[in-house]
Structure 1
Amino acid sequence: MKDRIKILSVGPYGERRIGGVQYVTNMILNSFLKEKYEFIVLDTTIPIFYHEWRIFRFFLTLQFAARLIFILFRKRPHIMHIHSSNVASFLEKGFLILLCKLFSSTKIILHLHGSRFEFLLKNKPWFRKMVKMVFTMTDAIIILSENFKQLLTNLVGTYNYIIIPHGVDKRLYDETIVERLNDGKVRLSFIGLIGERKGCYELGVAFKKLVAEHNIKNLHLEMVGREEEPGELEAIKNFYERLGILPYVTFYGLKVGHEKIKILKQSDIFVLPSRHDSFGIVNLEAMAAGLPVISTRQGAIPEYLIDGENGFLFEIGDVEALTEKIRILYNNQELREKMGLKNKKKIATFYSFDQILKKYDALYQQVHTGKNQAELNTPFI
């Protein structure tokens, strides 16, 4: 049997504290690719302790570095696929990339998931220099959207950027049968980190306007997710209580798998009013469940969510626009269903796991062999 290509996958894993990066790493490791390639995992999940005591984060990075060097010498991987999210993560992963270059001939794929790069790239020359230094050590850079590619090209320069968006396990949504609740309520769902960054305060104000000014009494808000920072969940609940909307809201906490799909399939409208988001993977999940989506013009979101066609877009912090978009869908069940059907079709055509995994397969082959793969040139519309 021919030896398989060894791929060292560096990033967070598992379903605890699951986010966009974990969603991707789990997707790859649980797919047909695990039969084709030999995956070696370096789990860089950040325990809650280090979120609360960030001063000690440096020591955790040193642990990751020691484990990386051990793997490089012991396992000798052909490719390192390393995932980076926020700015702190990028600095950490940049250090690991430098070590990989110093101690091995392993080829490097950097996977950028972060949502807060734009400000630093535009305003901090030191950060641009850091990004260029890291980019020059890579063989390929995975980004999530054409929008981000243009931003990086303009501010950092031209490198081997490969656009691979997130995907959804369409079969899981198709196989999950859920009975609709016939209680007269119209359900508005939100899934994500509970806090300011995901627009939870604006969502509360918009909901208040719908209840108070438009006299809508049968609208219910379903909030799914954990708090992003310690104390944010309690702060949001207190804010909603002061607004007088807490009786109309259910906080479910973190839900994954069939539990999350059930909530989506029992909903009528999905909303993600993020202030910062690189992709908004939960929008794709809502689309797979057949829901119309309301979201902000952030990152890749306008590339798959067309305003007025399969959902609505609005500007960050524009509570009036958010309120109006929810009101339009609340009042028009036919429009909700029409947009939902378009979303299911779009997921099946462009964003299913099967489509996205072919891209990763082609990229691994291209980086390993140096031969261009046609699959990577297929556009996402």
Structure 2
Amino acid sequence: MKITIITSRYPSSNNPYNHMFVHMRSVEFLKQEVEVEVYVPSNIESSYIHEGVKVYKMPSKSIAKLLKKKEIIYLHLLNIYPFSKADGWPIYKRILRENTPFAMYVHGSEVQKFTARMFDFNYSLDTFLRWIKKDLLVIPKMKRFVRETKGRDNCKYIFPSIWMKEELETNLDQKLENFEIIPNGIDTNLFRFNDSYENRYKLLTLRPLSSKKYAVDIAIETMKYLPKEFTLHIYGKGHLQSKYQKQIDDAKLSKRVTIKNEFIDRSEMNEFFTKYGIFLSPTRMDAQGVTMCEAMASGLLVASNNNTAIPEFIEDNYNGLLSNDSKSLAQKILKITENIEPFKLVIYNGRRSMEKISIDKTVSNEIKSLEAIIQ
């Protein structure tokens, strides 16, 4: 079997984080002796090899013409950009017209209405235009695509969580029968377990500062209810940084809460995690929370919100902590850090939970799912 992945972005030596979660699959496909190639809709044509993976960039209409010759198409965040050569819609249309075998891994943004993320809504012209584009141009096309393919024997929809599957059904008003739940795989070889109890008062938040979805404000709010020995480092970049800094200053937390305006290289993350004891990862919406899962694999105690898909990966006081109230979450953190045994039990359970979705296992399941489509 040869898998043809089509995605709107892909890593390169200059941009190593573009849809890294897609590249991780490609590398694992190769490890499991499955051929893979990647196509990226683009205004210009070029090609390169990234860590053994062949990547082709070309206009989406050119990609669409090649589909008939491909064995199985695997769609990952193939976005619709009206009036652009990088628009994914010609590819979707060709799949419809030619009855092309495909699987679509649904990550979220490609099927969610703009109004599904009202926490980022404001009354600016830019927001209004994005709402018009998403809900009135993109979503009707995605609804048509799902409606016309969901009954086919030669296609499958794959989701990281049950919540994400239900989110597609709600946003597109379509009921799916032919689907699978396969979480994004965690590289448990890269993210090795380290006992984090001695660093239990050192909290870490690793989030983009570009959307309220990532709930950095809730992380800061949680610190108000923790005693002075607890510190929080917030790593990330984005236009909300000044707003979060003001929240820190207003709460008189500047001596204990620090924003670090930088990203951590993925290859260095496991070593970086060893400096901390707790990964504070609140959220307003998440289909899985991959970085959260990587922190769990590394032995950090993860504290998050009991919403969206998070409870599918964290069971409160078993392999992490869950609460939707900042004060309650702080109280749970305070309680579990008082004694070594419950803390260690939770982080060991967290590691074991992540071993169940290690990338070799999840990709193996994806391969089986793709093979079933073309048999």
Q: 1:329 aligns with which of 329, 336, 357?
A: 336
Cα distance in 2 between the residues matched to 1:189 and 1:274: 14
Selected match of 1:296 from 305, 308, 330: 305
What SS does the corresponding residue of 1:173 show, helix, strand or coil? coil
Aligned equivalent of 1:265: 274
Cα contact 2:206–2:236 (8 A) shared by 1: yes
Instruction: Determine if contact 1:8/1:39 at 8 Å carries over to the other structure.
Output: yes
The alignment covers a number of residue pairs equal to 331
**Superposed counterparts of 1:72-83, under 5 Å:** 72=67, 76-83=69-76
The Cα of 1:302 is off from its aligned counterpart by 0.5
Report the residue type matching 1:246 in the other structure: S
**Contact residue 4 and residue 36 of structure 2 kept, 8 A:** yes
Matched, 1:137 2:149: yes
Give the match's secondary structure for 2:327: helix
Does the Cα contact within 8 Å between 1:13 and 1:45 map onto a contact in 2?
Answer: no
Structure 1 residues 325 and 125 mapped into 2: Cα distance closer, same or farther (>3 Å)? farther
Match of 2:92 in 1: 97
**1:339 CA drift (Å):** 0.4
Displaced runs of 4+ in structure 1, greater than 4 A?
85-89, 92-95, 118-131, 150-155, 178-182
Q: Residue in 1 aligned with 2:349?
A: 342
Deviations for 1:254-312, whole angstroms, at most 9, x for unmatched residues? Answer: 11323221222221111211112111111211110112211112332111200121112
How far apart in 2 are the matches of 1:32 and 1:327?
A: 43
CA contact 1:6–1:79 (8 Å) conserved in 2: yes
Q: Distance in 2 between matches of 1:321 and 1:67?
A: 54
Call closer, same or farther: CA 1:45–1:66 in 2, change over 3 Å. closer
Distance 1:246 1:71, change over 3 A: farther
Aligned with residue 233 of structure 2, among 217, 222, 227: 222
Q: Where in structure 2 are there 5+ consecutive unaligned residues?
A: 44-57, 119-134
**Secondary structure at 2:190 match in 1:** helix
Answering whether residue 333 of structure 2 is matched by residue 357 of structure 1, we say: no
Kept in 2: contact 1:7–1:79 (CA 8 A): yes
Query: Could you say which residue in structure 2 is the equivalent of 1:18?
Result: 17
**Counterpart code for 1:194:** L
Mapped contact 2:196–2:299 kept (Cα < 8 A):
no
Q: Distance in 2 between matches of 1:86 and 1:301?
A: 25
The aligned amino acid for 1:235 is K
Question: Partner amino acid for 1:352?
Answer: S
Counterpart residue number, 2:107: 113
Is this contact kept in 2: 1:224–1:251, CA < 8 A? yes
Which string of whole-angstrom CA distances, capped at 9 and with x for unpartnered residues, describes residues 237-258 of structure 1?
3332333323322515111323
Out of 223, 227, 247, the position equivalent to 1:207 is 223
CA deviation digits over 1:2-42, x for unaligned, max 9?
xx5242332422274737xx232111111243663332212
Which 10-residue stretch deviates more, 143-152 or 299-308?
Answer: 143-152
**CA contact 2:41–2:60 (8 Å) conserved in 1:** no
2:149 is aligned with what amino acid? M
The structure in which a higher percent of residues are helix is: 1
TM-score normalised by length of structure 2: 0.75
Task: Name the residue aligned to 1:254.
Answer: 263
User: Does the 8 Å CA contact 2:42/2:60 hold for their aligned counterparts?
Assistant: no
Q: Please list the CA deviations of residues 89-143 of structure 1 after superposition, one character each: whole Å capped at 9, or x if unmatched.
A: 9xx64553123334x4531211111168388589989987654421123611111
Structure 1 residue 198 corresponds to structure 2 residue 214: yes
User: Alpha-carbon deviation of 1:356?
Assistant: 0.6
RMSD: 3.6
Q: Is the partner of 1:197 in helix, strand or coil?
A: helix
Classify 1:120/1:80 alpha carbon distance in 2 versus 1 (closer, same or farther; 3 Å).
Answer: farther
Deviation, structure 1 residue 224? 2.5
Could you say what secondary structure the match of 2:368 adopts? helix
Using the TM superposition, name which of 127-136 and 327-336 deviates more: 127-136
Label 1:17 to 1:277 Cα distance change in 2 as closer, same or farther (>3 A). Answer: farther
Distance 1:185 1:159, change over 3 A: closer
Under a length normalisation based on structure 1, what TM-score does the superposition of the two structures give? 0.74
CA separation in 2, counterparts of 1:85 and 1:120?
Answer: 20
2:184 and 2:362 in contact (8 A); partners too: yes
1:69 aligns with 2:75: no
Corresponding residue of 1:240: 248
